[in-house]
Amino acid sequence: MKRLYLYEELSAMKLEPESALAPLLKEGVSILKALIVDFTKLNQFELFIFASKEVGESLVAEKLINFSQWIVPDPSNPFLNVVNSKDAVLIMAPESDGILVYRIKQLNETGAENLNCSVEAVTLAGDKYQTFLYLNRMDIATPATMLLGNFLKTPQLTFPLVLKPRDGAGTSDTFYIRGIGFLENKASGIPNHEQWIVQEFKKGLPVSYCFFVHKGRCIPIVSSLQKTECLDLQFNYQGGSLPLPLDFRYRALSLAQKTLHNFVGLNGWVGVDLILGPDTKGINDFVFEINPRLTTAYLGARHHLKVNPASFWANPDLLLSQPEGQGNNIVYSKNGAIKIKRGQPR
């Protein structure tokens, strides 16, 4: 039986309370626990988990894993002298500060099977400004975007705007900007304006479409409506609900498929974030992010789909498009809370 290692960055490393990534810890642990349950049920891998002392003890106490499955990682290189070319590794990590790219590079040095996207794909998708340039080249509708420094010198976008770091994750440090005064105030506390972007705010439904990519095939999995609060002009991602109603689903799928069509290096779970505008023909629909990693929608998808989603990684050659809409409606939070609405969505 092949060995599979699950590595979730935030639960594997001891985070300081003041860390900018600390608010994402519960979300990361929720996804890790869901994967452990699903892969254990599948029983096609010998499963091992990288986890910090606190998280590992919790997983053992909850009987999700036994002590022999738990690996306390070396912070400098968790995979060195642990995995080899006969193993497979699934990494969950934010793109912030190049963390996901860095871990994939470390994994590639071991020769183990990388169940994530390539370094090149994560580098492009993890940089929101480079993603904007890519989408423009591909003639895919996306909100007008500028580097913060360039905008402050020559404002060429229409307010309101969204201010966010180029490599942010989970709406961390993402702000709604009404006018130039508020933007200049925020910018005064940002040391490097080249690492932040401003983007025209687009009204509409914030949605996501998730795919599983294998050997160039982008297989649709599930669509979701994203729930994001805006408190004190700062966005805060809360979770979502799935699947989308049929008309919105088709619009999101069409634009998301076009987005991923020529994107090189994608592999495994990938999400596309979109805004669906008021026009029913999709004239005002926009793509604003590509997530080259497992997303929080997995927490809801596993309760909606008729198959165990862990099987996507186990048997990708057999994977077909999922019959979305035949299961229950699901509301999920980023911390793992699930509400199931019985009955088939349209």
Give the amino acid at 111. G
pLDDT-based confidence at 104, cuts 50/70/90?
A: very high
pLDDT tens-place string over residues 191-248: 999 999 999 999 999 999 999 999 999 999 999 999 999 888 999 999 999 999 999 9
**271 DSSP β-pair partners:** 210, 291
pLDDT-based confidence at 48, cuts 50/70/90?
A: very high
Q: For CATH 3.30.1490, list the domain ranges present in the chain.
A: 144-200
| pLDDT over 90, % of the chain | 87
Helix (H, G, I), strand (E, B) or coil at 328: coil
Give the containing element (helix H, strand E) for 249: helix 246-260
pLDDT at residue 323 in the model: 73
Number of neighbours of residue 322 by Cβ within 10 angstroms:
22
The pair of three-digit structure tokens given for residue 166, joined into one six-digit string: 């180029």
The verdict on whether omega for the bond into residue 165 sits within 30 degrees of 0, i.e. cis, is no
Q: For CATH 3.30.470.20, list the domain ranges present in the chain.
A: 205-341
The pLDDT mean for the chain works out to 94
Q: What is the mean pLDDT of residues 1-24?
A: 84
Residue 330 has pLDDT above 60, yes or no: yes
Q: Which fold has domain 3-116?
A: Rossmann fold (3.40.50)
The maximal CA–CA distance of the chain, rounded, in angstroms, is: 60
pLDDT tens-place string over residues 236-290: 999 999 999 999 999 999 999 999 999 999 999 999 999 999 999 999 999 999 9
pLDDT at residue 311 in the model: 96
| pLDDT over 70, % of the chain | 97
Residue 346 has pLDDT above 60, yes or no: no
- pTM here? 0.95
C-alpha pair distances (Å), 308 with each of 4, 40, 47, 263, 329: 17, 11, 16, 27, 17
The pair of three-digit structure tokens given for residue 171, joined into one six-digit string: 């709406």
pLDDT tens-place string over residues 144-192: 999 999 999 999 999 999 999 999 887 778 999 999 999 999 999 999 9
CATH of segment(s) 205-341: 3.30.470.20
Q: Which residues contact 151 (CB under 8 A, 6 or more apart)?
A: 157, 198
The pair of three-digit structure tokens given for residue 93, joined into one six-digit string: 């990590």
Helices 25-42 and 297-304 sit at what angle, rounded to 10 degrees? Answer: 30
pLDDT at residue 341 in the model: 84
pLDDT-based confidence at 324, cuts 50/70/90?
A: confident
Residue 20 has pLDDT above 70, yes or no: no
- Tell which residue, 77, 93, 91, 76, has the closest CA to residue 27: 93
pLDDT-based confidence at 343, cuts 50/70/90?
A: low
pLDDT-based confidence at 319, cuts 50/70/90?
A: confident
Residue 345 has pLDDT above 70, yes or no: no
Residue 2 has pLDDT above 70, yes or no: yes
Q: Which fold has domain 144-200?
A: Dna Ligase; domain 1 (3.30.1490)
**Measured between alpha carbons, how far is 198 from 54 in angstroms, rounded to an integer?**
38
Give the amino acid at 236. N
Q: For CATH 3.40.50.11770, list the domain ranges present in the chain.
A: 3-116
Instruction: Tell me the residue ranges of DSSP E strands in 32-153.
Output: 46-50, 70-71, 88-92, 113-114, 145-147
